[in-house]
Structure 1
Amino acid sequence: MRRHDLRLLGPAAATWAAAWLATGATDAAVAPWLVAAVCWGAAALGLGLTASRARLRVPRSGPSPGPVSTSGGAGIRSVVGAMGPPLAVAAACAALASTLACTGLLAREDSPLATPAETRETVELTARLDSSLRPGTQAPWGGTPSERARATVLSVDGRTTAPVRIDLVLPSTDGADRPAGFGDEVTVRARVTALPGISRAAFRVQASEVITAGAAPEWIAWTHPLRAGLAEQARRLGGDGGALVPGLAIGDTARLPADLADAMSAASLTHLTAVSGANCALVTAIAFWAAGLLRAPRGVRVAAALAALTGFVVLVTPESSVVRAAAMALVVLVAVATGRAGGGAPALGVAVVVLLAADPWYSRDAGFALSVCATAGLVLGARPLASALAARMPRPLAAALAVPLAAQLACQPVLVLLDPVLPVYGVPANLLAAPAAPIATMAGLVGCLLLPVLPSVGFAALQVAWLPASWIALLARGVSGMPNTAVPWLPDAPGAALCAVAVAAAAVLLGARRRPVDGARRRPVLRPVAVGVLCLAVAVPIGVTAGRPALTTALLPADWDVLQCDIGQGDAVLVRDHGATLLIDTGPDPERLTACLALAGVRRVDLAVITHWDADHAGGAAAIAGRVGLVLHGPLDGARSDRVLGPLARGGAELVQVGAGASGRLGAADWRVLWPPARAEPGNDASVVLDLRAEQYRAVFLGDLGAEAQAALLREADPGRADLVKVAHHGSADQDPALYRELAPAVGLIGVGADNGYGHPTASLLDLLDAQGVAVVRSDSYGAAALTVDGDRVRVWSERAPPGAGGVVPAP
């Protein structure tokens, strides 16, 4: 079997590590120049060792000085000297990347945007879009829809400045004075926010107004009508296939429905809509082949392939995976042009070093990491896996299975960092999608290119692409609907490390074979060791992640009255009374709410209250569709409330809009709505405030009321004392102390996500509750927390013990 040239993988790994450390240095309060200095020092050491090795070499001519001893000090110096060249190369590459990272961080500090980012003043700036416009993520509290793009600042307040990358958020309008996409220039009036050093963009620019928009240069502008035409004609195709065609052809997923995107992710098929190496290889290979049919010389064929590759990158926009694939293809084309062997491993090494030196922030880009890992898996692992599998199954099946398996194994440690699960059906889904993907890609690309000149032929090509695209969508939805689509895994770095160990053990296990020794056949020692390591590496994270919920459920007190779910930044609280269950808000994520309901053993919700329509209170409503009887809600808010209530109504729930004065019963408890007043406008201050009076306690749930609404509630509803209060707005600073003094609760619940970015709960709110002797139970510290009222005491059980609290907080 042909051996791979792996000499450039060391410099690539060193460059990646140095770039990663340097870009994160300022966030860790470390001088980034320290990383660069260490790398330059290592490069100097490598050069010194190389020179030392050269002095020990035997002269090629002249009188021989006799044999050179390789023992003692000379031998050691010879061995150490052999380390010089690779160390020098790797350290020099790392030093270059870290130095450029330092330069980029310094440019951020010196940027004219740094001052308005601190003062929050509005500035006028001109920027060039470095990506297509995509729908922005709407803020949890609502607001104007937006569009987002990566961009580079060209001038600030009319003065030309050094280019700095930004995350540009534009108001979504259909007016003519707006950019069309990649390469356009736009002048906006905006506020600026500084981003962490690890962010590829130095600032986030939130535009309040688009002043002017200029067209992109001609060498980019030609792509805009092609992308727009493809999106428009794909809509005519209809169905999931029509939604997928632009993504498969040119990576345009801007109009991909959220549920289909989730299904693609669950089936591990998302990479098909992220243009990368396979697409670039197809384009360059076809261009090279077409030039060959014309009997063009090698140089012309290489030039044709390079031109096709450049046009393709501009058409699909230079995303990280595309740039990596294009750089690797460029290295291979140069090798072909010069007549040198361009192996995959050296090409990958060169591409990684060059790109990380040019842009050190690629080292923290998940798409770039997945692209590199997938390529490395295919280059280094596909052939050995195919050979190993061929010993156990037919060779054609082994060859087909090895490709998705090699890519999946190589990418899995990175995927675990993004989502700590192992996909169960990922490899079979990719195997079934493999024949359809290239057909859909090439037919879609041909259709995109032909639509402006031959519309009917172009649309016919899109119809050809629609069929395999529909198959991929059908496959994704089928897999996502299957039970147990993923196995839970340890999160963060420990999970990624264990996953890497498991992948390595699996590779060794697949590659190990029985070998004849002294006429007998025995199992190599490496094989049982690999089996043991694989079993441990898989059993530990699965045992921790799958066993922990079971243990938590077993430890949860059976007689709990109120349970605050751990659903991140948001609210979801369960109340139980005499067998009836109330759910107040659903949090932002259906999966996390489903997990909380399973923890509590709740299969059906008798009464649900949606306090208002923000995503952090209503985004998880799909988890109770078909499982809830009555839903109370405040004033409707058009499309936002329709998205929440539609699935609930289709699941058979009765929907009732309520205001102050509405009342009813839950088990043996009475509930009453204290707020909002009649004709209130939807929003935080129209949150439904519920007053629940059970046999042994009284609880008030404040939604997201701000200080003014809280003061009005105190005046108009005269709430009186309560034993338990769900603190308003996750503990923000916008609170009315008088209301909390009136309620005088024993326990305050705060639904809040760790490192939420809003500063919730604020120090002022915590000081307010502490001054009143309120025991605070916050979900970021406690996880899920269950409260049991026992006479005049409230017992608090928590999923995890907060710092210094031992997991139990006695109420005063």
Structure 2
Amino acid sequence: STGPLAVDARERAAVVVEGVLLDDPRVVPAKGGVLAFRQLVVARVRVEQLQVAGRQLRLRGPVLVFAADSRWLGLLPSTRVRAEGRVQAAGAGDDGAALLSARGRPTVLASPSRLQTAAGRLREGLRKAAATLPDDEAGLLPGLVEGDTSGLDPSLRQAFRTTGLTHLVAVSGTNVAVVLSAALVLCGWLHVGLRWRPVVAAVLLGAFVVLARPSPSVLRAAVMGVIALLALATGSRRQALPALSAAVLVLVLLSPELAAQPGFALSTLATAGLLVLAPPWRARLARRLPGWAADALAVPAAAQVACGPVVVTISGQVGLLAVPANLLAVPAVASATVLGVLAALMAPISLPLAQGLAWLAWLPTHWLVLVARTGAHQPGAQLLLPTGWAGALAMLAITGGVLLVLQRRRLRRVVAAASVGVLATAAVLVLARPPWPPPGWVLVTCDVGQGDSHVVRLGEGTALVLDTGPDPVAEDSCLSRLGVRRVPLLVLTHLHADHVEGVPGLLRGRRVAQVQVGPLDEPLTERDRLMRWVGRTPVVRATIGEVRQAAGVRWEVLDATARHGTDSDPNNSSIVLRLTTQGVVVLFAGDLEGDAQRSLLDRGLDLRATVLKVPHHGSRKQDGNFLDAVHARIAVVPVGAGNPYGHPAASTLQRLERDGARTYRSDEDGDVAVLVRHGRVSSQGRGGEGTVGTTRLAADGDHAHGAAGGRWAVAAPPLDLPGVISCDAVIPLPRARSPSGDRPLPVDA
């Protein structure tokens, strides 16, 4: 664009804009660096007046507004607002002609229209009705009905993306198809004439557009729905494709920015696929399958083939489970959407009745959650390809090859035989793979990317968790593999994002009795996010000398000192824990760096341990004397593959090797387990067994703890998870020996 808004955007000018909200403002996390996160509100505004450098201009164009002020939230579409800020150019794929970084609160110049006010009340009523459902289903139902994903768990959102089900919560053609189908069924029940049925359906479609907000994605889907109604009214599919072309032309003329939006391209391609590819595919499948099964297979397959090259261009990945996942989702989508719409309509009249309808929608929404999460956890759920033109061409070649093979009978037989061979080989590999978790596991370090997460077994389905990594999906997946359902205590060594952003994944479907944090509330934004996530779950602060035990596992807080003026105060204020389980001593040192490590040595603590969680992802900021003092036989480095920080440092790995430690890296070994079998300790990566010669630790029992005799521990708050275990404070500490009297175990590392 070359208008005044685009010119000011290129110059990053300070402006005052007046315009109309196009949809509901929503909250998104905005990264200000790898470890600093903050909350932003995003809103789309159609700017109609612009003030810049004393000039006042009239124009018309969409702007994406980013604001830190929460008072943007709750404003309805069609509200006229004024905002101040600095404008900058929009990037490729941004849903606006420019971006505005707003300062302060918005000024409301005119209230929303009556129609939008009524629709806002319906949406709010739906959220209240759905709030009585379990978390996953409560967040999903508004997404299915009107595209509100603000309550959707991040891990569930990622699962929908992985399995190709995101369109269900984006108010896409699927939602429009459900509304139109329900309208036509209703017309049939009421014996409405065939000519009038498309008219009634169009009226109901218009009402749905208002309920779901007339955003570009909703309008695009509605236009495609109108095209389908045109085909129905004329009784000819031939007119649908020219109508699609005309609709695309009109939309681009009215809103030229649509031409640069990936969502518009995907909507158009999906509709074209349904019009061109789906009918003949459905006809061929119907020769051997029931009609509903032919539709269920042909429709998602046609949309996937049509959209595949553009999806790869944007994201570089293709959901291999999209077709089967959509096939499994088909029976649930319509019922959940219709019940959700009815709940929204009933909420202003009777909230209890609306809640009853929401509970009727629980079963189909729960099924969708189950399909998404189960599919996302399957190996090879996504195919990774290059982004850009290279990926698009690769996807076109793959798609063309598959379609060519399916057209030729002989090739089909060859491919079928090859597929059977591949599946048989895969089955053998899966069956031959060692079980996970391995028998006898006492500790697992989760592969969560560039971050920390550790799970200490306390019993069947119960574990102590230290940190949660940066990724809710990875955290949830690791805990699910281990069968963890109850977490009596979650310890967050410090509040950097690579240790706490996975908390929503841990909280998904699990009971957490208490959260323990370190002495420093930095970054403040991360602390605030944590408090919102955990809700009413008690949060306590760790204290030096605090000792707890549960189910034969004992742990002590060696350090929880707030340090200031260091290279990284949050890192150097990490909680340091020494934990003993079945005679295995584990030292968790958070992200402690060299100076803080030396302070532990200066206090004369006995730091010896069987297993060391290497501090700060094995960075070069280690004190060699600290590593020597720990003298671990097993060293675990949680680290992300290809991370930009050079972790772990070669000098750190060399020092650990010199001390005789067997080192595991989560980027190479995946999840890493520490096992106790037949009186011996061993370690195993999820990718394979890590074994070297057997080594004995020092044979004196003092190695297990080394606490100063006669010292009293600070009483920790008791932990109580009814019917599971009880974690009680330990007062006083006995002389240096294992609480169970066990000698240190031999190590197979």
TM-score, scaled to structure 2: 0.60
| Distance across 1 between alignment mates of 2:197 and 2:417 | 52
| Distance across 1 between alignment mates of 2:516 and 2:448 | 21
Match of 1:98 in 2: none
Q: Tell me: CA distance 1:217–1:282, structure 2 relative to 1, closer, same or farther (3 Å).
A: same
Match of 1:72 in 2: none
| Distance across 1 between alignment mates of 2:637 and 2:337 | 53
SS for the counterpart of 1:391 is coil
SS for the counterpart of 1:222 is helix
Q: Tell me: CA distance 1:268–1:508, structure 2 relative to 1, closer, same or farther (3 Å).
A: same
CA contact (8 A) 2:37 2:497 kept: no
Task: Check if 1:110 corresponds to 2:7.
Answer: yes
SS for the counterpart of 1:493 is coil
Structure 2 alignment gaps of length 5 or more:
437-442, 458-462, 522-526, 629-634, 669-749
Amino acid at match of 2:43: A
Task: Check if 1:180 corresponds to 2:57.
Answer: no
1:317 to 213, 218, 229: 213
Match of 2:558 in 1: 672
CA contact (8 A) 2:453 2:475 kept: yes
**Offset at residue 753 of structure 1 (A):** 8.4
Task: Check if 1:492 corresponds to 2:385.
Answer: yes
Task: Check if 1:790 corresponds to 2:674.
Answer: no
2:22 to 130, 148, 157: 130
Q: Tell me: CA distance 1:662–1:392, structure 2 relative to 1, closer, same or farther (3 Å).
A: same
Task: Check if 1:633 corresponds to 2:517.
Answer: yes
Greater helix fraction, Structure 1 or Structure 2: 1
**Offset at residue 210 of structure 1 (A):** 0.9
1:170 to 58, 67, 71: 67
Amino acid at match of 1:433: A
**Offset at residue 147 of structure 1 (A):** 3.0
2:50 to 155, 158, 162: 155
Q: Please list, as runs of the form range in 1=range in 2, the aligned pairs for 1:292-307 lying within 5 A after superposition.
A: none
Task: Check if 1:422 corresponds to 2:321.
Answer: yes
Match of 1:25 in 2: none
SS for the counterpart of 1:486 is coil
Q: Tell me: CA distance 1:335–1:248, structure 2 relative to 1, closer, same or farther (3 Å).
A: closer
| Distance across 2 between alignment mates of 1:535 and 1:350 | 46
Q: Encode CA deviations 1:605-637: one digit per residue, 9 max, x unaligned.
A: 999752224543123357778899998631597
| Distance across 1 between alignment mates of 2:260 and 2:641 | 23
Match of 1:210 in 2: 105
Task: Check if 1:589 corresponds to 2:475.
Answer: no
1:231 to 124, 130, 136: 124
Q: Tell me: CA distance 1:668–1:254, structure 2 relative to 1, closer, same or farther (3 Å).
A: closer
CA contact (8 A) 2:126 2:340 kept: no
Amino acid at match of 1:325: A
Q: Tell me: CA distance 1:312–1:589, structure 2 relative to 1, closer, same or farther (3 Å).
A: same
Q: Tell me: CA distance 1:225–1:439, structure 2 relative to 1, closer, same or farther (3 Å).
A: closer
| Distance across 2 between alignment mates of 1:567 and 1:112 | 39
| Distance across 2 between alignment mates of 1:282 and 1:350 | 24
Q: Please list, as runs of the form range in 1=range in 2, the aligned pairs for 1:601-750 lying within 5 A after superposition.
A: 609-621=491-503, 633-635=517-519, 640-641=529-530, 657-660=541-544, 672-673=558-559, 675-676=561-562, 684=570, 687-690=573-576, 701-702=590-591
CA contact (8 A) 2:574 2:589 kept: no
SS for the counterpart of 2:474 is helix
**Offset at residue 207 of structure 1 (A):** 3.5
| Distance across 2 between alignment mates of 1:281 and 1:629 | 44
Q: Tell me: CA distance 1:497–1:727, structure 2 relative to 1, closer, same or farther (3 Å).
A: farther
| Distance across 1 between alignment mates of 2:98 and 2:557 | 47
**Offset at residue 301 of structure 1 (A):** 10
1:387 to 283, 294, 298: 283
Q: Tell me: CA distance 1:657–1:179, structure 2 relative to 1, closer, same or farther (3 Å).
A: closer
| Distance across 1 between alignment mates of 2:655 and 2:201 | 70
| Distance across 1 between alignment mates of 2:50 and 2:20 | 10
CA contact (8 A) 1:288 1:301 kept: no
Greater strand fraction, Structure 1 or Structure 2: 2
| Distance across 1 between alignment mates of 2:353 and 2:511 | 45
| Distance across 2 between alignment mates of 1:297 and 1:432 | 26
Q: Encode CA deviations 1:7-51: one digit per residue, 9 max, x unaligned.
A: xxxxxxxxxxxxxxxxxxxxxxxxxxxxxxxxxxxxxxxxxxxxx
Match of 2:172 in 1: 276
Amino acid at match of 1:169: F
Q: Tell me: CA distance 1:507–1:539, structure 2 relative to 1, closer, same or farther (3 Å).
A: farther
Match of 1:436 in 2: 335
CA contact (8 A) 2:542 2:557 kept: no
Count of residues in Structure 1 that have an aligned counterpart in Structure 2: 618
| Distance across 1 between alignment mates of 2:121 and 2:446 | 44
Amino acid at match of 1:136: V
SS for the counterpart of 1:789 is helix
Task: Check if 1:344 corresponds to 2:229.
Answer: no
SS for the counterpart of 1:675 is coil
| Distance across 2 between alignment mates of 1:235 and 1:404 | 32
CA contact (8 A) 2:342 2:357 kept: yes
Q: Tell me: CA distance 1:434–1:566, structure 2 relative to 1, closer, same or farther (3 Å).
A: closer
CA contact (8 A) 1:570 1:616 kept: yes
Q: Please list, as runs of the form range in 1=range in 2, the aligned pairs for 1:203-602 lying within 5 A after superposition.
A: 204-215=99-110, 218=113, 222-232=115-125, 234-236=127-129, 238-240=131-133, 246-256=142-152, 269-280=165-176, 312-329=208-225, 343-352=239-248, 355=251, 362=258, 365=261, 367-395=263-291, 397-399=293-295, 401-407=297-303, 410=306, 414=311, 417=316, 422-423=321-322, 425-433=324-332, 435-436=334-335, 439-440=338-339, 443=342, 447=345, 456=349, 466=358, 469-480=361-372, 482=374, 486-488=378-380, 489-493=382-386, 524-528=409-413, 531=416, 567-568=448-449, 570-572=451-453, 585-593=467-475
**Offset at residue 573 of structure 1 (A):** 7.6
Amino acid at match of 2:45: A
Q: Tell me: CA distance 1:688–1:531, structure 2 relative to 1, closer, same or farther (3 Å).
A: same
Which protein has the larger Cα radius of gyration, Structure 1 or Structure 2? 1
Q: Tell me: CA distance 1:190–1:287, structure 2 relative to 1, closer, same or farther (3 Å).
A: farther
| Distance across 1 between alignment mates of 2:514 and 2:229 | 65
Q: Percent same amino acid among aligned pairs?
A: 27
Q: Tell me: CA distance 1:476–1:536, structure 2 relative to 1, closer, same or farther (3 Å).
A: same
| Distance across 2 between alignment mates of 1:377 and 1:608 | 48
What value does the CA root-mean-square deviation take over the aligned residues?
Answer: 6.5
**Offset at residue 325 of structure 1 (A):** 2.7
Q: Encode CA deviations 1:631-674: one digit per residue, 9 max, x unaligned.
A: 8631597875567778999xxxxx97424566899999998315
CA contact (8 A) 1:661 1:674 kept: no
CA contact (8 A) 2:62 2:97 kept: yes
Q: Tell me: CA distance 1:209–1:795, structure 2 relative to 1, closer, same or farther (3 Å).
A: same
CA contact (8 A) 1:388 1:510 kept: no
SS for the counterpart of 2:470 is coil
Q: Encode CA deviations 1:753-789: one digit per residue, 9 max, x unaligned.
A: 879xxxx75xxxx9xx99xxx6478xxxxxxxx8883
CA contact (8 A) 1:748 1:776 kept: no
SS for the counterpart of 2:468 is coil
**Offset at residue 744 of structure 1 (A):** 10
Match of 1:12 in 2: none
| Distance across 1 between alignment mates of 2:50 and 2:618 | 39
SS for the counterpart of 1:387 is helix
SS for the counterpart of 2:12 is helix
Q: Which moved more, 1:626-635 or 1:380-389?
A: 626-635
Q: Tell me: CA distance 1:341–1:593, structure 2 relative to 1, closer, same or farther (3 Å).
A: closer
| Distance across 2 between alignment mates of 1:644 and 1:594 | 15
